[in-house]
Amino acid sequence: MTASVNGGREPAAPAPADCTAVPSVRVLEHGDLSTAARVLALAFADEPAKHALFGSEENASPPFADANTRTRFAEAVARGRLRAAARYAAVHVAEIDGALAGVAMWYPPGVQPAALPSSAIVPALLTPGTRVLTLIARVGGLLWRDRAALRRILAGRTAAAKQASRGRSWYLAVIGTDPSHRGRGVARRLLERTLERCDVEGLPAWLETTEEATAGLYERFGFQTIAAIDGGTVLPGLWVMRREPRRPRRTRSSHV
């Protein structure tokens, strides 16, 4: 599926009562790449698109030797995406008690999302335990069998993205939370970091997700669905959403 699908299944979930540490958000540093890539790999492990295209080790002739191999493959892809985006995007990480717990990748107005370079794809395919030919055959075969739906989804996505991104806008390409830190407000803090900036600057934001439940959670942050695109036999559906800026709170002037 598209590379701009969002994770972080519970952005608005309340923190457990016994968890008092508040996530802190900062800019991604070079030394964070490997850890951030693993967080994204774990965050998207159950994403519908990945299950549809990659299957699991229970499949006949699975493309990966085991679940760990699939995670390492996803880490390699995520690391490539982070490297490609770091020069142009605003990549933020959230920490709890010094542990990296979440990642968000935002593209500012006028900047197109970076394509995944071959320098990232090749290392991923060379991950030990990855059955490259099986993987290529599986993905290619599924896309071919679902080609009518693929054309419809891509056409719908193009039209919806054009509407959602109109004007100067921020694009949330990726957001993901380490499963061990879900429910502690990590995704909320990552979202608020840039949404507050959008409000101050008077700019909209938009995103895409393959999960209807996640789309409902984003609505709590002011996003509205521009288009809900039905999936195919294998491919999941797609929700394209846009958020208009909220008027920033004004402080009462002391002048008469």
Task: List the chain residues with pLDDT less than 50.
Answer: 1-6, 8-18, 60, 251-256
Q: Can you give the pLDDT at residue 189? A: 96
Q: Can you give the pLDDT at residue 61? A: 57
CB-based contacts of 99: which residues, under 8 Å, 6+ apart?
181
The predicted-structure confidence for 199-209, as pLDDT tens digits, reads as follows: 999 999 999 99
Averaged confidence pLDDT in the chain: 84
Query: Phi/psi at 77 (nearest 5 deg)?
Result: -65, -45
Q: Quick check: 78 and 127 in contact, CB under 8 A?
A: no
How far apart are alpha carbons 120 and 118 in whole angstroms?
5
How far apart are alpha carbons 255 and 4 in whole angstroms?
47
How far apart are alpha carbons 189 and 255 in whole angstroms?
34
| DSSP string for residues in the chain | --S-----S-TTPPPPTT--PPPEEEE--GGGHHHHHHHHHHHTTT-HHHHHHH--TTSSS-SBSSHHHHHHHHHHHHHHHHHHHHTTSEEEEEEETTEEEEEEEEE-TT-PPPPPPHHHHHHHHTSTTB-HHHHHHHHHHHHHHTHHHHHHHHHHHHHHHHHHT-SS-EEEEEEEE-GGGTTSSHHHHHHHHHHHHHHHHT--EEEEES-HHHHHHHHTTTEEEEEEE---SSS--EEEEEEPPPPPPPPPPS--
24-243 folds as Aminopeptidase (3.40.630)
The predicted-structure confidence for 188-238, as pLDDT tens digits, reads as follows: 999 999 999 999 999 999 999 998 889 999 999 999 999 999 988 878 899
pTM of the model as a whole: 0.83
